Amino acid sequence: AQSVTQLDSQVPVFEEAPVELRCNYSSSVSVYLFWYVQYPNQGLQLLLKYLSGSTLVESINGFEAEFNKSQTSFHLRKPSVHISDTAEYFCAVSASGGYQKVTFGTGTKLQVIP
């Protein structure tokens, strides 16, 4: 069985400040890890993913996440947030073989304050 924990349900941050959204996972097998973003009244969009190789993965809009196997974490970071980053962010985990069921975390609402 696998699970994902996002401890912060809401994170307020001032514009141009750095932010970290925390994600911890639990799994007995090798995993793939994902961050999805959901803008208001929209579906989820993949932000970035870790499948293998470099433990640091980046998105096209300045977010990055680092896979830390020893701490079973996949925290999402951005050095300087914009108003447009206001959204809900979901961490997700999938076993790296077989059917690849994806388990989602409960989400973190990022509120960027002007």
Partner 1 sequence: NAGVTQTPKFRVLKTGQSMTLLCAQDMNHEYMYWYRQDPGMGLRLIHYSVGEGTTAKGEVPDGYNVSRLKKQNFLLGLESAAPSQTSVYFCASRLETSGTYNEQFFGPGTRLTVL
Q: How far is the CB of 74 from partner 1 (least distance, A)?
A: 15
* DSSP bridge pairs for 94: 32, 102
Q: How far is the CB of 66 from partner 1 (least distance, A)?
A: 19
Scan residues 67-86 and list those touching partner 1 (CB under 8 A). none
Q: Give the DSSP letter of residue 59.
A: -
Q: How far is the CB of 8 from partner 1 (least distance, A)?
A: 12
Do 25 and 74 meet the contact criterion of CB atoms below 8 Å apart?
A: yes
Burial (0-12, 13-18, 19+ Cβ within 10 Å), 84: exposed
- Show the tokens assigned to 84: 């447009």
Q: Which amino acid is at 11?
A: V
- Show the tokens assigned to 68: 């830390």
Binding flag, residue 41, partner 1 (CB under 8 A)? yes
Rule CB under 8 A: choose which of 64, 77, 104, 111 binds partner 1.
104
Scan residues 8-37 and list those touching partner 1 (CB under 8 A). 9, 32, 34
Q: Give the DSSP letter of residue 39.
A: -
18-26, 38-46, 57-65, 74-82 -> range binding partner 1 (CB under 8 A) = 38-46
Report the interface residues with partner 1, using CB under 8 A: 4, 9, 32, 34, 41-46, 49, 51, 90, 94, 96, 99-102, 104-107
